Structure 1
Amino acid sequence: MKQQRKYARVYALSVAMVCCALLAQAQTAARFMGSVTGISGNTLTVKTDAGEQKTVEVPAEATLKRIEPGQKDLSSAATMVFTDLAVGDRVLVKLDPNATGTAPQASLVVAIKQADVAKKQQQDQADWQKRGVAGLVKSVDPAAGTIIVTTGAGPTTKTVTVKTTKTTTLKRYAPGSVRFADAQSAPLDAVHSGDQLRARGTKNADGTELDAEDVVSGTFRNVAGTINAIDPAAQTIVVKDLATKKPVTIHVTADAQLHRIPDRMAQMLAARLKGTMPAGGWQARSGGGAPGAGAAAGGPGGGQFAGQGGGAGNGDPQRFLSMAPTIKLADLQKGEAIMVVATDGATDVNAITVLAGVEPLLEAPAATNLLSNWSMGGGGGEAAGAGPQ
């Protein structure tokens, strides 16, 4: 009898667990979120955030609402019509459980227009640039809630204390990803010395302290070496790492940024980083504006390369990297040297930033930090981040 009761309890528990699982699946299936990839008649095709393609009919009686990025409730959402939807819009679709047709039907569609998302991203990026700091983590004190970060490189190196509180949003980039959208919440003790970090908040007068509202960090790898092979079809580069003397396969995804430094600019940057730039900076070495300014800045003279205090040589070398011309994978050649900031990994990584024309920089030890800080600071891809989106 006891054995029968035991089996009965086990059976009941199993049934309950199955029912809970089915209920959870039903609740998940009842709604989905993603981006509109197609519109035909009254039917939407949506690529969900999980990567699935879903097709749903939107009948005339369905409710359609438009919200702004970051809006949390529908109380102030504007009513929209189906023809207002467009490919690229973000949507939350709630399915009608009482639909009788063979195709899934929506009872509610909540949309964020693609143009609104782009506008919000631009505003966020500008705010991160204005109120943010980016660099390499020197030390972390979880008890005090502080992170010491070094920014810049060579003569422009600066130490900043990032102060966090219970209200600070802390995130870590997901392993193998350089997308802010994939970043996950993480405690302060997940941040380690050597990590790349970007923080946004209120700075003190001299910029040596920042009361952080948002912090995102990650463990990335710097690779400097010569190209052994390029596979355009696979979008990969094989580089012999000068530090480890071993080959590293680098995947160049759509998120990666590729730049080439003009020869004279690379020489000037190397001199700046090594502290051998003569008095007068760029002007003393080139007799005028910054090297390559016409091609890289798109105009004559010093253009945007004009530095602080009357010469670019007196400014931050990272600013020059932001002006380096963009290139494509096909522009790289076997045997040339490159510097790469990539996701963490021993032999197989995803590129964040690829910088060519770096032969003179390889002689300047500070160049590694220069590239890392620049990549996180807004010049090299999404890891540099437009910030929260």
Structure 2
Amino acid sequence: MSEPELIVERRGALGLLTLNRPRALNALTHGMVLEIRAALDAWAGDDAVRTVAIRGAGDRAFCAGGDIVGLHRDATSGDGRAAAVFWRDEYRLNAAIARYPKPIVALMHGIVLGGGVGLSAHASHRVVTDSTRIGMPETGIGFIPDVGGTWLLSRAPGELGTHLALTAGSVGAGDALALGLADAFLEAERLEALVSALESERADSAIARLSGPAPSAPLLAEQPWIDAAYVGDDPLAVLARLDAAPEPAAHEAAASIRAKSPTSVGVTLAALRAARGMPDLEHALAAEFRLALRALLSPDFAEGVRAQVIDKDRAPHWSPPTLQSLDPAAAHAAAAPLTPAERERFAVDEWTAA
């Protein structure tokens, strides 16, 4: 008998969800998204459940994102409708986590990427450990930071979120706390003690009792040159400032951005700037849904996943190949309302947090 992809448990006053695909770094399938939402909906009205916790099986990852290979298959040999429904339901889950009426404790140990960020960083109590690595790697696969990533990163201090998004970088526990992606730090060996405590103790008191001081935040220390370089909404100007900066890390950032999908870099920067002015997460998710559907039709998404995940040759051929050849107007237009033809093609309407 195969193992369930999601383990749903009641332990005292705790509702515990364990993502159970450790060999796949607990990557989310559509079925897992639906099961998590069903459990949350059931526990929301259950007075016996005071707190919910979400964790990943194994030591390597909380969640490495969505099922990218399945999305790639739909982009290259399907009609895109399966991907559209997955994103619709995943984003609805992200919104439900953000507005959940009870504490949700996300145990963000190990790798936390893409969809794993959406599953954890909108929770009320976000716990990181010494093994945590959080990132939004989307520009490296021809995609955009979604699952509320534009909302989260646009609200990080200064331009740190912009830097992380455009370079597809990742950060450890200290920087996750500094960027507003996490709330508390625990040594990894205390995670099981926290889960046990949550069976009877309130989330705030259990986390306060078991947490420790925040570790160092090396990216935060780089904020002066990052803020100076990433200001504005022109990706070419950002690259020019990075090239001209005296810091070697700035030159590394420029090289990293040039290796990413030019379309994704341009769309991502425009999306981050738009998200700064949005009133809430749900507006950002609605915009990201449009961006995701259009990215699915872009040749860069299929090529990026091929190069990074399937063939793993790490040599994508982007179209267009450089930021200089990217139409800036196209980047800003990517978040426009869906056209009737797009709604018919994907068999979805505009996203709402139903």
TM-score in terms of structure 2 length: 0.22
> Structure 1 or 2: larger helix share?
2
Greater RCO, CA 8 A, separation 6+: 2
> Structure 1 or 2: larger strand share?
1
Structure 1 or 2, whichever has the larger Rg, is 1
